[in-house]
Amino acid sequence: MPELVITVARFGFLVLLWIFVFTVVGVIRRDLFAGARSGRLVAAPRTVGASTGQASAKPAKVKRGRAAHQLVVTAGQLAGTRITLGEAQITIGRAEDSTLVITDDYASARHARLVPRDGQWFVEDLGSTNGTYLDRAKVTGPTPVPLGVPIRIGRTSLELRP
Amino acid sequence: MTAAATPASSPATAGERPGVRLARSRRNAELSLLLLAMALVAAYGAMVEANVLDTVTPNFWVPAAVLTAVFLGIHVAIRFLAPFADPALLPAVALLNGLGVGFLRRLDLGNAAPEERADLAIFAGTGGRQLAWTLLSVLLAAGLLALVRDHRSISRYAYTLGLAGIVLVMLPAVLPASISEINGAKLWIRIGSFSIQPGEFAKLALLAFFAYYLVRKREVLSLASHRFLGIDFPRGRDLGPVVVVWVISLLVLIFQKDLGTSLLYFGMFVATVYIATERVSWLLIGLVLFFGGAYLAYVLGKSIGGPFLNFSVRADIWLDPFAKPYDEGYQLVQGLLALGTGGLFGAGPGGGQPTELPEVQNDFIFAGIGEEIGLFGLSALLVIYLLIVERGLRAGLAVRDSFGKLLAGGLAFTLALQVFVIVGGISKLIPLTGQTTPFLSAGGSSLMANWLLIAVLLRVSDAGRRPVTGGGKVNRPSGGPPEQLHGAPTEVIKP
């Protein structure tokens, strides 16, 4: 084997090794920086959410920015947990069959649920002992949840993110 | 693939596509990464032959092809069994495992007589055996994925697993030395030419038990505590069983004369408690206990010897390996020289002299590889370990139940600690303790246990990344009544 080929192969292998590393980082980049990116979001005004339901005629570009795609736990023991939203409702509580099982002393077994209706998510209290709060206001009936506004359950806070 | 993607990409009523951002299964990314990793393994094999044999034989690609087939097998299994699992875990592990097999085969080539080198059979020698072990380990990992469809079902066998863990740890200590002792460490069960290291599997079983127990006791642990010197200490009776498990395994390990493993168990224990309670005081207590214990073992070894002698000898080697470079310090000195010879870019795969290193196929594989790929290559390998651990911790963050969080966090940390203990040992950062380098070292038990670990991480990350589809029903545990119904309201929920 000529010396040149060996030398080129030697460095080529190391470069390829690092290319692999950076490809892996590229694949998981979305997860690595997901927290930082959503942290830049500014909370939408509360009235925006309610009108989004009827706004299906608006251009798609505007809508996509406002659609909630994730539910993020921002405070409490499950902080950092993300749930990707689909079409199904999300139940929150201490019961093991909840979608989001929170081990919070101030949460009830079936505490609250999030229901999608025409692209807008509504939070509904399920008769919990300590109540559910949307930002500072207590939730009494189904209430539309704007992006970035905290839903408080006991010591846990949740937010909708795009 | 289509089956996996349907729940995520079906359009919602208002025309958006909810869940499309994180809900992609990303299996195709995994496949391409895997193929890239296997290309690297094949290139490594070719370069080894070019350097050692001075020519590339026509079937240099066969080991890499066998590995590719095996890993493609588990890739397909993941597509069906855990479609939303993390895409980076499998390729990263496959690369490490493949390079390990390649390096062991390179050792076989180096050890073989020059005329036999060209026609070394695929499954011959250490490298061939490692290849066979890889096959078996990957099969076991796929089996675990098929068997455990929901990681929470593991928690139902937590006490059985805890007991099994203790039995596995103690078994070699109880068995006669003729069956269990290799190189002065009683860690093995030898049956004929086979040897199993049950401690590797005990690690996983004990961690599952710790996770389950700490989840059950978390509320007690964080509420009932004594405040002492500004640090909250939990009550003794709440921690009793875990401390007992830890003390037993530690005692057994000291008498099995393997301090690396006992350090691993201790670190695992402290990390799990820390993740469960979120209290920094546990880390402080752990560090103080560990350093105090290590110093005590050193002093005791100096004065009375006995079971502590092993550790004090190793600590002396660590403090000054060049004091006795041809006796006790020989291995470490050779390892350091190998790393030094490698320099920045290494001698090239197959270009070094790893056969001069004692135990290069086990403990010192990192030094052996380092001589040939240099600091530049070694740091790439370390970053790959880092990425695997990061993905494990991320799986713990993403999953929605406490048991899964503790399990994934603890397993990822255990892997990180094991890499730290062995790489720190060979680079003279900490005293050298015998540990296998995960996925690289020769040895079936270690490889199997670490692949099972990866299977559990894949399962947990699948649960964490899977989009919510069927209301509350998806996550219902497959058995047992819900535990925390005492606070449930009795009123009927109006639609």
Query: Which member of B380, B401, B491 has the closest CB to residue A17?
Result: B380
**What count of other Cβ atoms lies within 10 Å of the Cβ of residue B460?**
30
pLDDT attached to residue A120: 84
pLDDT attached to residue B19: 39
**How far is it, in rounded angstroms, from Cα B371 to Cα B374?**
6
Residue type (1 letter), B192: G
Lowest-confidence region among B32-36, B158-162, B324-328:
B324-328
What end-to-end distance do the CA atoms of chain B give, in Å? 35
Range with the largest mean pLDDT of A75-84, B135-144, B200-209, B297-306: B135-144
Largest separation between any pair of C-alpha atoms in chain B: 84
Structure-model confidence comparison of residues B31 and B198, the more confident one: B31
Residue to test with chain A: of B468, B490, B492, most A Cβ within 10 A: B468
Sequence spans of domains, chain B: 3-487
Contacts of B46 in chain A (CB under 8 A): 9
Question: Is B399 an 8 Å CB contact of chain A?
Answer: yes
- Strand bridging mode A156-161 / B181-182: unpaired
Residue B384: φ, ψ to 5°: -65, -40
Residue to test with chain B: of A4, A11, A13, most B Cβ within 10 A: A13
Structure-model confidence comparison of residues B186 and A13, the more confident one: A13
pLDDT attached to residue B73: 95
pLDDT band at B245 (very low <50, low <70, confident <90, very high): low
pLDDT attached to residue B490: 45
DSSP classification of residue B325: T
**How far is it, in rounded angstroms, from Cα A5 to Cα B50?**
9
**Cβ separation B474–A81 shorter than 8 A:** no
**Cβ separation A25–B493 shorter than 8 A:** no
**Cβ separation A127–B345 shorter than 8 A:** no
DSSP β-bridge partners for residue B377? none
The owner of tokens 């992006």 is A147
pLDDT over 90 percentage in chain A: 9
pLDDT attached to residue B40: 94
Give the pair of three-digit tokens for residue B20: 């499309």
pLDDT tops 90 at residue B137: yes
pLDDT band at A49 (very low <50, low <70, confident <90, very high): very low
The CA angle B100-B103-B105, to the nearest 5 degrees, is 110
Residue to test with chain B: of A14, A147, A161, most B Cβ within 10 A: A14
pLDDT tops 70 at residue A44: no
Model pLDDT for residues B431-441, shown as the tens digit of each residue: 888 788 999 98
pLDDT attached to residue B94: 96
**How far is it, in rounded angstroms, from Cα B135 to Cα B113?**
28
Give the pair of three-digit tokens for residue B337: 């020289």
pLDDT tops 80 at residue B180: no
Compute the nearest-CA separation of A18 from chain B (Å). 6
Model pLDDT for residues A102-128, shown as the tens digit of each residue: 877 788 888 888 888 887 888 988 888
Residue A70: φ, ψ to 5°: -140, 150
**How far is it, in rounded angstroms, from Cα B443 to Cα B366?**
15
In B86-197, DSSP assigns E strands to 181-182, 185-186, 189-191, 194-196
Model pLDDT for residues B263-321, shown as the tens digit of each residue: 888 888 888 888 887 777 778 877 887 788 778 878 887 887 776 777 788 888 888 88
Residues 6+ apart with CB under 8 A from A74: A150, A157, A158, A159
Contacts of B377 in chain A (CB under 8 A): 13-14, 17
Mean pLDDT within A33-52: 43
Q: Are B126 and B438 in contact (CB under 8 A)?
A: no
Q: Are B435 and A110 in contact (CB under 8 A)?
A: no
**Cβ separation A110–B489 shorter than 8 A:** yes
**What count of other Cβ atoms lies within 10 Å of the Cβ of residue B296?**
12
pLDDT tops 70 at residue B404: yes
Q: Are B15 and A63 in contact (CB under 8 A)?
A: yes
pLDDT tops 50 at residue B389: yes
pLDDT attached to residue B126: 85
The complex's ipTM works out to 0.83
Contacts of A56 in chain B (CB under 8 A): 14-15
Mean pLDDT within A57-82: 66
Structure-model confidence comparison of residues B277 and A44, the more confident one: B277
Structure-model confidence comparison of residues A144 and A34, the more confident one: A144
**What is this structure's pTM?**
0.78
Write out the H or E segment, with its range, that includes residue B453.
helix B444-465
Give contacts of B 190-229 with A, CB under 8 A.
218-219
Residue A153: φ, ψ to 5°: -130, 110
pLDDT attached to residue A59: 39
Mean pLDDT within B331-355: 89
The length of chain A is 162
What does each C-alpha distance from B430 to A130, B260, B419 come to in angstroms? Answer: 52, 11, 12
Model pLDDT for residues B22-49, shown as the tens digit of each residue: 457 788 999 999 999 999 999 999 999 8
pLDDT attached to residue A38: 42
Query: Which member of B50, B468, B477 has the closest CB to residue A9?
Result: B50
What's the alpha-carbon Rg for chain B, to the nearest Å?
Answer: 24
**Cβ separation A24–B377 shorter than 8 A:** no
Lowest-confidence region among A73-82, B452-461, B472-481:
B472-481
pLDDT attached to residue A40: 38
Compute the nearest-CA separation of A148 from chain B (Å). 16
**How far is it, in rounded angstroms, from Cα B167 to Cα B174?**
10
pLDDT tops 70 at residue A52: no
Structure-model confidence comparison of residues B452 and B398, the more confident one: B452
Range with the largest mean pLDDT of A28-37, B107-116, B301-310, B412-421: B412-421
Give the pair of three-digit tokens for residue B31: 């496949």
Mean pLDDT within B387-403: 90
pLDDT band at B190 (very low <50, low <70, confident <90, very high): confident
Residue A161: φ, ψ to 5°: -130, 150
Q: Are B123 and B153 in contact (CB under 8 A)?
A: no
Give the pair of three-digit tokens for residue B404: 């899964």
